[in-house]
Structure 1
């Protein structure tokens, strides 16, 4: 995996995130050299959902009220049914996601997390995928929905489900590298 050591990435999540959809990107992006912060609504820990029951807690690195998109190079949105449903009704969370998109930074969502992209009005006219149960939501929001493992349309990256996390993380790394190279060339 390429080295993205100068990059800082936010993972926005709250209680009920799908365990693997937070932990795998967190681990793999750190292995690639990035500094990764788990950003949430409150300090302390958030608890994952692991298939059919509550999973393990994860430490929150930064509270959303203290996070600024300008401090990061990309945002990752893990799914699960509970996590994105709770976050999509939080104006601060949606504004945080929108700020990454406005800045041309990678926005990556897996499984049910594209609900946040819908709420942020980021999928209209974009190629994207999601968990099959929110396919209609995606299409109704204007996405060009694909039944693919991972879809990248510019800086928007979506993945279908936890089985697609390797390709999802690779797409994030490529997008972060591309964004970093553009920023370096502009400086």
Structure 2
């Protein structure tokens, strides 16, 4: 088991995140001893969903306005329909996301989460996957889209749906454990 002791990870979420896509990576990261902060444009709590039904609320640890990407080793963006749709038009969320790419830090996004990456302008020439109905948006942002359980491209980890969470979480932990990436590109099933 790899240990992420001393690593700090931000999970960027707004109301409407797919519950399992936030809670499963959170659990995996904590099991590997990472410090994890839920970062959100608003304080208090964010509302999770189980598909179309309201789920659990999750406590926000750091408001986005006070979040410093430089203090984190990696970023996770859960999906759900409403969460990434709100984040992709939030300039602070886009700047926060871009900072991880500029620093060469691991970033993981699942389901509709890559929408945020498209709007942040960081997908040009990258290979990704996502929920199939945003494929065209990602391709229009310059990405190559593959229908795989998990795709890893230079520290960028993407997956399609909650069914892919075991592979997504495993690759997320692996990429954070490895740290910065220089030109690595691979796809894993």
Q: What TM-score, normalized to structure 1?
A: 0.94
What's the offset of the Cα at 1:139? 1.2
Q: Is the 8 A contact 2:19 2:55 kept in 1?
A: yes
Q: Is residue 138 from structure 1 mapped to residue 138 from structure 2 by the alignment?
A: yes
Q: Is the 8 A contact 2:104 2:180 kept in 1?
A: no
Q: Unpaired segments of 5 or more residues in structure 2?
A: 183-189
Q: How does 1:112-131 map to 2 (within 5 A)?
A: 112-131=112-131
Per-residue CA deviation, residues 84-140 of structure 1 (Å, 9 max, x unaligned), is: 000111000000000000000001100001000101111111110000100111111
Other-structure match for 1:5: 5
What's the offset of the Cα at 1:52? 2.3
Q: How does 1:26-65 map to 2 (within 5 A)?
A: 26-65=26-65
**Secondary structure of 1:86's match?**
helix
* 1: CA distance, partners of 2:25 / 2:11: 9
Q: Unpaired segments of 5 or more residues in structure 1?
A: 183-187
- The count of residues paired between Structure 1 and Structure 2 equals 182
Q: After TM superposition, which residue ranges in structure 1, 4 or more long, deviate above 2 angstroms? A: none
What's the offset of the Cα at 1:155? 1.4
Per-residue CA deviation, residues 21-70 of structure 1 (Å, 9 max, x unaligned), is: 00000111001110000000111111101122111100000100111011
* 2: CA distance, partners of 1:121 / 1:18: 23
Structure having the larger proportion of residues in helix: 1
The more displaced of 95-104 and 156-165 is 156-165
**Secondary structure of 2:109's match?**
strand
* 2: CA distance, partners of 1:164 / 1:6: 27
| RMSD (Å), alpha carbons | 1.4
**Secondary structure of 2:5's match?**
coil
Per-residue CA deviation, residues 149-187 of structure 1 (Å, 9 max, x unaligned), is: 0000001111111111111111111111111799xxxxx
* 2: CA distance, partners of 1:40 / 1:181: 26
* 1: CA distance, partners of 2:55 / 2:64: 22
Q: How does 1:76-91 map to 2 (within 5 A)?
A: 76-91=76-91
The more displaced of 97-106 and 137-146 is 137-146
Other-structure match for 2:152: 152
Q: What TM-score, normalized to structure 2?
A: 0.93
* 2: CA distance, partners of 1:117 / 1:180: 18
What's the offset of the Cα at 1:141? 1.3
